[in-house]
Every structure is written in structure tokens, then in C-alpha cells.
Structure 1
Amino acid sequence: MGYKNNRVGYQKEILTSRAIVRKNNYAILPHDGLVKNSIPGFVNVEISILGSPRLGANFVDCIATFLENGAQETGFGGDGVETMVYVIEGKLTVSDGEEEHTLETGGYAYYPAGVKMFMKNAQTENTEVFLYKKRYEVLEGHETYKVIGNVNDLTPIEYEGMSDVLYYEFLPTETAFDMNLHILTFKPGASHAYVETHFQEHGAYLLSGQGMYNLDNEWYPVEKGDYIFMSAYVHQAAYAVGRDEPLSYVYSKDCNRDPQI
């Protein structure tokens, strides 16, 4: 059964897919092809694994729907692994086992490596979230700390000086943090200022809209609910298409570390 489409049984239409997978380079996983996974500790939670080392990523991210009484009971992350959660829609309670915080739509939490994140649905309706975890790259003399916030409380930045492309940064820019989550929003007709090629890798989940995405100099249609993985140095850029809804996605980015040799 699909994560989004809940489709089972025989189909009348020809089976097709927009999925593109170029392992260790880039991938597009359309919402219509996502499947439900079973992960220990997630109870009454429908979850689909997106980016992972099997795809070529140095992180793992997932899309998850917490049903009524849904919870992560054993702790997300832990020894050496930092975690983040972003609430796409709904209400989620997060805890480190001692202190609880309730996140509403747009809310997010970062827990440092070594601290497990426990989660539970804080309402009777479903709550959908984007989850991220990565092994923390230790930097001597620096330590991260728990961060709780909401994107609605952030001041957007005009991306590359463009008023119709807005950028939201979740975490502090302090050197201790080796990654960040962002939201990038393009109004219809807006685009990147140039085709980017860079060291950092991304995992991006589309929150709204439609667009055309350049990956390794190939253009692909994307829309709300799709997932994009972009490895280091892959060409990348986007145009927002459509009439009314902006193209918006939440995405991860590694930062603040010297490449090792």
C-alpha cells in the first residue's frame, strides 16, 4: 500500500512513474510511488524512508504521519546521531525524556548527538512531519544544543537578493552546527539565480506547488509531496510553475566543516 495513495489491488491504468534514481548522484521520488515502511519504535505511525546511505546520502530522512496516539517510543537518534523534526501539519510533542515541547504546524526541533528524541501526536487528528538524522561531525571546542522554534516566527531572507524567492533558516549559524534545515519558497515564475554546483548535499521534501528542477543538467517536473536527493556537486536549479501556489520545500544542508582527506 502506498504511503500517500493507499492504492492496492489490480489497476485499470498503465503503470508509470516520474521516479528518477541515479544512485550517488541524484533522485526524484514522486509522492505516488512512496511506500510505507516499518521502523521499530514508531507505533501508530505511517512512515516512508526517503534519503539514506543506500541512495548515496550521508543522512537519513523520512516523511511520517502520526495517527491518533501515534508515537516514537524508543527514541529517535541517540549515540553520535543528531536529529531534527519539522511539523508539516498538525501538533507534535517532543521530549528528551525530561523536558517536553509541543510543536504546531511550522514547528521544528533539533536535538544534539547523544540525546534521543521521543515524539507523540498531540491531537486526535493526524500529524505529518519531516524527520532527519545524521551522524554528527565533532568539532573540538564546540558543542551544539537543543533548538526549538517555528518557521512562522522567522524573518525570511530574500534569496540572492530576489524578493520573490524567500529563504528560512532554522538553526543558528554557529560553527558548532554541522547541518541546517531550511525552507526555500519560489513564487510562480521565480527561479534560482543560476545553476548551482557545490560541495554540500541536500534532501528536499516539497511542501507546495509545482516546478521544473534541473538535476545534472536534466530538467524534471516536480510537485507537492515529491522528494529530491541531491549529492555533492550535482547541477541544481529550479523554476516555479503554476498560477497561484508557490513552489516551496524544506531541505537539509551540511555546513561548517573542513572536508577531510
Structure 2
Amino acid sequence: MDSSPRYHASVGGLPTQTDLTTDRATFTEAYAVIPGRTLSDITASLLPHWDATRVWILARPMSGFAETFAQYVMEVSPGGGSDQPEPDPEAEAALFVVDGGLSLVVGETTHRLTAGSYAYLPPGSAWRLRNDDDAVARFHWVRKRYERVEGLDVPELVVVNERDLEPDPMPGTDGAWATTRFVDPSDLRHDMHVTIVTFQPGGVIPFPETHVMEHGLYVLEGKAMYLLNRDWVEVQAGDFMWLRAFCPQACYAGGPARFRYLLYKDVNRHPSLRLHPWPVCR
């Protein structure tokens, strides 16, 4: 079986007039599902200071939705990119490339990013990103306002490729459920983790997880049944899920191939004691 990483990268286009309108798109107080075909030409946006670039914003902080992060799918045409990508000096970023190649410049150093490349950019980083190739490049961009803690330094730049890392199997699963980690999970300087979770066919989350971390999940490969609050939802490559903190979740990867997703979660910080106007969870 081919175990090389694969990354769903298809965006844009438009369904035909003969396609069914019915789809799996769901928005509730506890979770949301954005199917891959939703990322069409008519839902794309543009950003200031980005040339030859389209963006699909999957999550953004707002009442009743994502609280801690924003997540984008970025499509950069040849010659495109930005010399002023980040408007918020307190924002940290995680970039994950799914297609094509990009040149990331941080300070005076240039890093070559290809499919599978991950970059963590600390708040206040002076970074630029350009597509110097002849093909379109696509990447995920997760943004979060960094929560500083007295006595803890800000994390340093991280640039690595998934292909150079070994997944950590979950205990007792014989590798059926594993996580690829780009930073040390015990490093308390980090207030967010972006990882890749892999289930082999038949792998499961064997209980409904309920925890304080908010999640963003983008399916990179395969399909599965995912428990979101009280609902079992079928998801596949290209779909995005948002899970509110404490939303019960579980997974059954029925196959026929492995199931993988890019996962965001907020970690390593005290919860804010300021109340939010959340609606009642249903």
C-alpha cells in the first residue's frame, strides 16, 4: 500500500446548473461542516497586499462560531504572493502547503516550501511569501492572536516537512490512529497546535471526546464518519469541520483507504473568564 502523503488541493470552479442543490453543508451552535464543493469561484475572496491570490475563509472569530482562530485556503498564481501578508502584529501563523511551491522569506533567510511543508511564524515576524514557479500553489493559513505569558518566551520560527517526520501512534491502537506533530507538545510557549491526524481503514476514536480545545479540521485524504455533537456526518477530502469547545466528537474511518486531516486546536493557556454570548448548544 502506498503510504506517501497526499493532500486535497482542488478549489474553485462552479457546479453546473444541473447539479443538485442539496449538500452536506451544516451550521449549528456546536459545529459546522463546509463541504469541499462550497469552495467555488463565487465564495472566493481577495485580500489587501496579496497579488494574484484568492482565498477561501473557512473560519473566523465571530459570535457563535470560531472563537480563537481564523483559517484560510490560499491559492497563489505564478508570480503572486505578498510582501505584507499579516496585518495584525500580535498574530501568529501556521502555514501548510498542499500543492505547488512557494518561497517564504523570514528576515533575510529564504525557505523553500513544497507540498507537505509546515511553517510556524511567531507574532511580529517579518515574513514574505511568493510563488516563483510556473504552477499555482495552494496552502492553508491558520491565524491566531498569540497569548503571551509572563516568564515564557515567544516560540521561534519552525520550518519542516511532514515527509521528514514520523507519526506518533496513539497508545494501544497498533498504529491505526496516529498524529504527526510539527512542534513539541510539551513546549508551553505554544498556545496552538496544528497537526495531521491519520486513521488507517477501520481506525476509530473509540469514545466521544469532550474537551476545552476548539477545533478546525480540514480533510486532506480519504473519507470517514465523524460524530459531531449528536450527529454522525460523512466527510471526505476537501471538507472542513469546525467544532466548538466541548462539542462531543468521535471518528470511524471505514475505508477503503486511510483518512487524514489537518487539525487546529488551542492549547496550554487558562480559559478567559470573560463571558461570551454563546447560544444554547443543541
The TM-score range, normalised by the shorter chain, is: over 0.9
1:247 is aligned to 259
CA contact (8 A) 2:197 2:262 kept: yes
Q: 1:161 to 1:78 in 2, by over 3 A?
A: farther
CA contact (8 A) 2:83 2:127 kept: no
Q: Does 1:123 align with 2:133?
A: yes
SS in 1 for 2:76: strand
Q: Distance in 2 between matches of 1:120 and 1:167?
A: 29
1:215 is aligned to 228
1:158 is aligned to 169
Q: Deviations over 1:205-256 (max 9, x none)?
A: 110001111000210010000001111000011111331x311001111111
1:110 is aligned to 120
Q: Deviations over 1:104-130 (max 9, x none)?
A: 111111111111432112421121111
Q: Distance in 2 between matches of 1:97 and 1:43?
A: 20
2:78 is aligned to 68
1:149 is aligned to 160
Match runs of 1:222-241 below 5 Å: 222-241=235-254
SS in 1 for 2:56: strand
Query: Aligned-pair distance for 1:74?
Result: 1.4
Q: Distance in 1 between matches of 2:27 and 2:126?
A: 31
Which of residues 38, 44, 68 is equivalent to 1:36?
44
> When the two structures are superposed, what TM-score results if normalisation uses the length of structure 1?
0.92
SS in 2 for 1:252: strand
Number of residue pairs matched?
256
RMSD: 1.7
Q: Distance in 2 between matches of 1:89 and 1:13?
A: 27
Q: Distance in 2 between matches of 1:150 and 1:257?
A: 27
1:206 is aligned to 219
Query: Aligned-pair distance for 1:78?
Result: 4.1
Any stretches of 5+ residues in structure 1 without a counterpart? none
Any stretches of 5+ residues in structure 2 without a counterpart? 1-9, 274-282
Letter of the structure 2 residue corresponding to residue 61 of structure 1: Q
CA contact (8 A) 1:78 1:116 kept: no
Letter of the structure 1 residue corresponding to residue 28 of structure 2: R
Higher relative contact order (CA 8 A, sep 6+): 2
CA contact (8 A) 1:30 1:226 kept: yes
Q: 1:95 to 1:176 in 2, by over 3 A?
A: same
Q: Distance in 2 between matches of 1:111 and 1:12?
A: 44
Q: Does 1:259 align with 2:271?
A: yes
Q: Distance in 1 between matches of 2:125 and 2:221?
A: 32
Which of residues 8, 11, 34 is equivalent to 1:4?
11
2:6 is aligned to none
Q: Distance in 2 between matches of 1:68 and 1:241?
A: 38
